[in-house]
Amino acid sequence: MNWNLFHQQIFPIRDKLYRFALRITGNVHDAEDVVQEVLERVWKSSEGQSEAVQNWEAWCMTMTRNRSLDKSRSNSNRRTTGVEVLEMRSNTALLPDKNAELQDLASHIRTLMQALPDKQRMVMHLRDIEELSYDEIAQSLELSLDQVKINLHRARKAIRSQIAVVI
């Protein structure tokens, strides 16, 4: 791995990798460790491997997912707390009561997302929060395009039905 490639392709996605690792591990320190391990592994990759990778973001997301799942399993840590990183973008033009309602709804959605099955939660996070394309999600999670779409549909449907109960 050369510095230019690392600086242009890998370094800009480190925050995205962190948010994804945090979503899976549910622990700030574990997520930081995972991202550091992934970045170190990418940096130490051989030239032959560097040339073989076509989509660096998808490859890094895959490594982040795998390492996060490993860390979660080894710590027997099954995400019982909310994720701090998902922040609702508040509109400053909104009245304070509307802004508070939006923040409450965002918090409720975070809680509902934590209750989703792993694949649905990861697909929904990558699509709706990280804004990856369906193809990138399929590569990152090693799923078919149809599986990505099905999991996203089911996740959104589950969230929608739970929100409809609240509203």
Buried b (16+ CB within 10 A) or exposed e, 44-82: eeeeeeeeebeebbbbbbbbbbebbbebbeeeeeebeee
**By residue range, what is the domain housing residue 60?**
1-77
From 25, 42, 77, the end of a domain falls on 77
Residues 61 and 111 in one domain: no
Per the domain annotation, does 88 fall within a domain?
A: no
Supply the pLDDT for residue 79: 40
Supply the pLDDT for residue 166: 62
Q: Are 152 and 124 in contact (CB under 8 A)?
A: yes
Distance (Å, whole) CA 30 – CA 22? 8
Give the total number of structural domains in the chain.
Answer: 2
| CATH, residue 101 | 1.10.10.10
Per the domain annotation, does 56 fall within a domain?
A: yes
Please name the residue that has the structure tokens 């999670």: 141
Q: 10 Å Cβ neighbour count for 135?
A: 12
Per the domain annotation, does 89 fall within a domain?
A: no
Residues 100 and 47 in one domain: no
Residues 58 and 99 in one domain: no
Per the domain annotation, does 24 fall within a domain?
A: yes
- pTM value is 0.56
Supply the pLDDT for residue 90: 43
Per the domain annotation, does 87 fall within a domain?
A: no
Supply the pLDDT for residue 24: 87
Tens digits of pLDDT across the chain (167 residues): 788 888 898 989 999 999 999 988 888 999 999 999 999 999 988 887 778 888 889 899 999 999 998 888 776 534 433 344 334 344 445 577 777 887 888 888 888 888 999 899 999 998 988 888 899 899 888 999 999 999 999 999 999 898 877 66
